[in-house]
A and B are shown apart, each in its own frame.
Chain A
Amino acid sequence: MKNILIILFAVIITSCSEDFLNIAPKSSITSGNFYVTEAHFDQALVGAYASLRPAFGNPSSWTMGEMRSDNTHLEFNITNRGGTYVEREYADFFMDEAISNTVAEKYNTCYVAIGRVNLILELIPQSSLSQPAKDRIQGQASFLRGLLYFELVRYFGGVSLYLAPVKGVDDAYLPRATTIQVYQAIIGDLNLAIEKLSAPTFPQNGQANDGSARMLLANVYLTLKDYPKAEAELKQVTGMGYSLLNKYESLYQLNNKNSVESIFSVQYQQGNQGQQSSFLYNFLPLSSDVSLITKFPSANTQGGGWNTPTFEMMEAYEEGDLRLDASIGIVEGTGQIGNMFIEKFRSPVDFTATPGKRTYLFVKKFLTPHSLVQNTDDNLHIYRFAEALLSLAEVLNEQGKSAESLIYLNQVRVRAGLKPTTETNQNLLREIIAKERRVELAFENKRWLDLVRTGKAIEVMNLNGKYLKTFYAGSSYLPDISYKLTSDKLLFPIPLREIKVGKLEQNPGY
C-alpha cells in the first residue's frame, strides 16, 4: 500500500503540474501574445495616441507652456499650499526645483508614450503585415516619436535617447544625449513619417498624416533656424488642402473639431467612456457655483484658478481683434479667493471693471457646451493651419523675403478682423509676426517655447515679473526672488528622481 501511495503521489505531482501551474491572466492580455496581427498593431497605435493626452493635456503642459510665459499667471490661493499647487506657482515664478512633480509629469508622460511607440517601431518590420499596413502604422508611430522628443528637447535639452524598447534592467539606463543628437533623431523619424504617410483627406479623423509630419518638421527646422528647409516643408503644407476657417471663434466650436484648419490635435470626447477633456475647469475660478459660465448646475471646488490671462495679455490684442472675445472670458463677483461667488460673465471687449467686484480672467477657448462637470469635448490643438501661415511668414521674413511674408501673415490678420500690415522692415516685421503668434496661438501652450526659440524669454519675462509685482503689490505673495530669470531657467530641470535613479546629469542652475 505504501508503494502504491508513493507512486500515486509521483504520478499526480508530475502529470498535472505543468497545466496546473500555468496560469496566465484571463482579464487582460500579455506582451507574449500581443503584437502579432494587424489588429494588434492598430490597437497598439491607438494606445500610443492615447498617451498623447497625458503628455500634452496634463496640467504640466499649460504650466510649462503658458504660465511660465507672460500670457498667463494664476490666482494666488493662500489656502492651496499642497505640493502640486506650490510647484505650479514655482514654475510660474521661476523658482522651480528638480524635485517638482509638475515638471516630472511632462518628462515621464512623454517617455511613457515613447516607450509605446518604440515597441511598435521595433516589432513592425518583422511582422507579417502587408506593406501598406506597415507603412501606415510605421509612419504614424514615427511621427509620434518625433513629436514627443521635440517636446522633450525643447523643455529639457538633450535627453536620453531611447529608440528601442527597454526589455529589462540591462538596457534601461541611457545617459543624456546631446541636443543635436536628439534633433537628428527627430528629423530622422519625421523624414520616415513623411515617406510613409499620405496626404490629409478631409474631413480628418485625428490621425497623423503627411501634413502633420511636414508641419512638425517645419517647426523643428524653424526652431533650429534652418529657414530654407522650414520654408520648403511649410510650402508643401500650404498645398495640401488646409485653410483657415472663416471665423476665429468657430475654431473652438465642437462641430469644427478636426476641421480644414486642423493639422494635428489631441482628441477627446465627452461622455461616459473616459475620453473626456476637462481643461476648462482648471481655468475657471474656484467656486461652488459656476453655472453662469457652464450653463448647467455645476461647481468647481477643486483644481481651479490656474492659467489665468494677465491684464497685460488682454491688452496685447489690438483694437477690434475678434480673437479677444473668443479667447478670454471675464467673470465678476464677490467672495474670497478659493470660493468666488460669481455674479456676472462678461466680455473682455471694452472692459471696465465694476467697482467693488472681484475680476477673474479665464481662458475661454475651452468653454464649449457640455453637461457634466469636469467632462468636456474639447480637442487640444497641436498644430493648426494658422500656425503654418505664421511660421511661413516668419521663415520668409528671416530670409529677407518680407513682401512674400506679408501674404501669409495678413491672411491671419484679416481673419481676425484686423487691417493687413504693410511693414516690410525685417526687424519691425519680426516683432509684428511674434506679436501675431502670441495672440493667434494664445493659451495653446506655445508661448513659452516661442519666447525661448526667439531669444526673447529673459527680457520679456523679467519685465513681466516687474509688471506682476507692481500689479499684485497689495497682496504680497510674489517673493523677491521670483522672476529673476537667467539663461539657466530656459530649460526645466531634469526630474530629481531621474538624476538619482538614472545617474543623469542635471541642467545647469538646478
Chain B
Amino acid sequence: MSIFTRSVPFRANTIKALNDPSLRSALRHATETFAQKRSEAKASVPFEAWRDDASAMRSDVLSNLSGYLDLFRARAVRAGATVHLAKDAGSAREIIVSVLKQFSAKRIVKSKSMITEEIHLNSYLHQQGFNVVETDLGEYIIQLAQESPSHIIVPAVHKTRRQVGRLFAEKLGCDYTEDPFVLTKIVRRVLRDEFVSADAGISGANFAVADSGSIVIVTNEGNGRMVTTLPPLHIAVFSIEKIIPSLADLPKLLRTLTRSATGQTLSSYVSVITGSRKPGETTGATELHLVILDNGRSEIVNGEFREILKCVRCGACMNVCPVYRTVGGHAYASTYPGPMGIILTTLLERMERAHTLLDATTLCGACAEVCPVKVPLPRLLRRLRELRVEQDFTTQMERRGMDGFALAAQSPRIFHLGQKVARLSWPLLKKLDGNGALVRMPRPDPVTFTRRMQ
C-alpha cells in the first residue's frame, strides 16, 4: 500500500492486470512477436556497429543541444515554417489552440504522437470545442474506447479483435465483425472522409533535422502522410531532444529504429518535410507550424540522466521487459511505460508521483541489450532508486531494515545472531510479512554453512 496518495498505485494496478486473462494473452502474443521479429531483423546485419553509431550520434547532439536547436529554428524558418517554443505542456496547448483559431480550423485530423499524449492535448482541444480525430488505427480504436495507449508503437495492443469488433459495432453502427481485415477497411473508409475535409493536421515528429530545418515522420499506415500534406494547416509538435544534425545522419537512426520497433527494414513511409508549400509546388501544407516543447528536457540534458534523452521511442525495451510483458502499459498509468517510461516519468513528473514505478524492474538488463541507441537503462534505474532513498520515498520499515542489514553486514557476530533469530521466529515473521516474499522461501537451515566450516 502506498503511503503517498499521489503516487501511481502500481502494485494494485499489476494485480488488476494479472487477473485479466485476455490482456495477458494479448501481451504475451504481442511482446513475443515483436521480440522475435527484432531478433530476425538484426540477424544478418552489423547491428551492434549500427547501435554504436546511432548512440554516438545521439550523444553528440545532446552535448550541444541548444546550438542545434538554434540552427534548426533558423533553417525551419528559412524553409517557410513558423516556429514556436513551448516551455511546458500548458504553453504548448495554448500555442496550438491559438494557431488553430488563427486559421479558423475546427476539424482536425491527428497522427499518432506520444508528445501530444504527454501534454494531454486531445482532451484540452475537445474542451475548447475542437473536433479531433485520431487517424492511426490503434489510436483511433482507443479514442473510440476512451482509453489511453498501452504501448508506444501499438497503442491498442491490449484489445482483442472481438473487443474491437464490438466497439466498432457500438460506436460506428456497422455490422459486428471480428475480422481485422474488414475492421481495417471500415476505418479506411471512415477516415478517408476526415482526411480530405480536415482544416488542420496535427502530428508529432520522429526526428527534427537541424541543418535543413526538416521534420521526419516514420509511419506504416499512410495516415501520417495524409495528416501532414492534405489539410492546409499542419501543426507538428515535438520535444527538443528529437533533433539530429543533418539528413546525412538520418540513415543511422532509420536502420536501427524500425528494426528495433517492429522488425521491419524500414517502415512503409518515411516523410521528410521541409517547411511549408513553396511557390510553384503542389504538395505540402501552406501553413506549417512547429511547436518545440521543452517540458523539463533542458533540465534533464544538463544532469546525470541525460542519456535517457537519446531514446528514439522504438518500444523495444518494453517488448523484452519482464514486468511490462506481464502487466502491460496501463499499469504504469503514465504516458510512457516500460523501462524508458519509468525513467522519463520519474524525471518529468517527479519522485512524488513516480517513486512506485521504480519498483517495476528486476534490473534484469534485457532492456539495455535491445536499446538501439544504447541508453544504459539499468544504470539509470538503479541511480533513481538511490535518489528515491535519499529523498525519503521509502517506508520507515524498509529503512530500518536496511540499517539493521548494514550492522549485520559489518559484524559477523550480529549477522549470525540475526540468522538465528530469523530461524527461530520464522513462522511469526512469515505471518507478519503477509503474502510477501518470506512465505515463498524455505526456512533457514539449523546449521549454517559457516558453522559447518568451523
Q: Real complex partners, A and B?
A: no
Residues in A lying within 8 Å of B, measured CB to CB? none
